[in-house]
Amino acid sequence: MKHRFSVAAPFILGIALLIGARAEAAEACPAGLNDGKRITVLVEGEGPDVVLIPGLSSPRAVWNATAARLKGKYRLHLVQIRGFGDDAGVNAEGPVLDGVVTEVADYIDDCITDAGRPAPAVIGHSMGGLTGLMVAARAPQEVGRLMIVDAVPFIGLLFNPAATIDSVTPQADQMAAMMRAQYGQPAPTGPVVDPGPASMAGGMSNTAAGRTAIAGWMREADPRVVAQVFRDVMTTDMRGELAAVSAPVTLLYAQDDSAMPAARAKAAFEPQYAGLATFRAQMVTGSRHFIMLDQPEAFAKAVDGFLGE
């Protein structure tokens, strides 16, 4: 793997001579904030390793409640994609998703498995779930188990059962261009308030607090990065790579009667994962896309069960 998070070579050599190569790798990513090219990772807590990856436009704050519960028992690695709440850096131009996948895999290699620790549990929401799936398929030794929260291998099928990458690309390009055009426009300056159930945030959360949080995260996200990652996700189809995934995969997906009947939600999500060696799915009713915000108790129970397996 390419090591993006390693420390300076002389320091590594000194540490290796004094306390061994295993400590050298562990020193590369200490507690606190670790900077990468496309991502930053906040490390906190002690115990078995858990990597948490947020979704489109979301900062690591989406995991705040989860992290507060888990950091007493686990060593958490809270990923944030540059541009989702901080400076965009290199993510401001060109494809983003594949580079993020590579960097997440490199981070796990540098900071966890090269230190002699077991491959971590990975939990990803939305685009973060797709990222976790891509890492599990392309660097299977770096993922011990994977929880995907409300995401699928190919999102185009949620809108059209006959969708292909070629068929969705024109629309993805058009929508990405509209998002990108928002860059440089005056940003709202007032306090973030609940935009209401009919808003874009309302399609992702059925609670006032959830909608308010999402609206704030969307306001802070760089439109250039949002646009590019949106396009990257829309034009990615991982179904052909599922056979390469050796880690057990748990799918947690949302269902709200006002948006989609339970039978239709099951048919939309679960069949896309055919071909995985070990797969388990759980529907969370009464929730929109951000399950951790809409059904926090059910989400916490599912996460605890996943980590305890």
pLDDT grade for 13, boundaries at 50, 70 and 90: very low
C-alpha to C-alpha distance for 210 and 23, rounded to whole angstroms: 41
Q: Is the pLDDT of residue 11 over 60?
A: no
pLDDT, residue 78, reads 98
User: Domain segments of the chain: what residues?
Assistant: 31-162+226-308
Over pLDDT 90: what percentage of the chain?
87
Residue 162 burial (10 A CB sphere; 0-12, 13-18, 19+): exposed
Helix/strand/coil for 113: helix
pLDDT, residue 189, reads 84
pLDDT tens for each residue of 283-294: 999 999 999 999
CA angle at 216 for the pair 210 and 217, rounded to the nearest 5°: 90
C-alpha count within 13 angstroms, C-beta hemisphere, residue 33: 6
Q: Is the pLDDT of residue 297 over 80?
A: yes
Q: Taking a C-beta distance cutoff of 8 angstroms, is the pair 62, 55 a contact? A: yes
Closest CA to 288 of 187, 221, 199: 199
Q: Taking a C-beta distance cutoff of 8 angstroms, is the pair 290, 210 a contact? A: yes
Closest CA to 187 of 214, 215, 211: 215
Mean pLDDT, residues 49-54 taken together? 98
The reported pTM is 0.91
C-alpha to C-alpha distance for 270 and 171, rounded to whole angstroms: 25
Q: Is the pLDDT of residue 26 over 70?
A: no
C-alpha count within 13 angstroms, C-beta hemisphere, residue 88: 19
Strand stretches in 61-208, DSSP E: 75-81, 121-125, 145-149
When the pLDDT of each residue in the chain is averaged and rounded to a whole number, the result is: 91
Closest CA to 196 of 210, 217, 186, 184: 210
CB count in 10 Å sphere of residue 164 = 12
pLDDT, residue 218, reads 96
pLDDT grade for 187, boundaries at 50, 70 and 90: confident
Closest CA to 50 of 298, 307, 308: 307
Write down the CATH number for the domain with range 31-162+226-308: 3.40.50.1820
Q: What's the gap between Cα 273 and its chain centre? A: 18
pLDDT, residue 23, reads 39
Helix/strand/coil for 306: helix
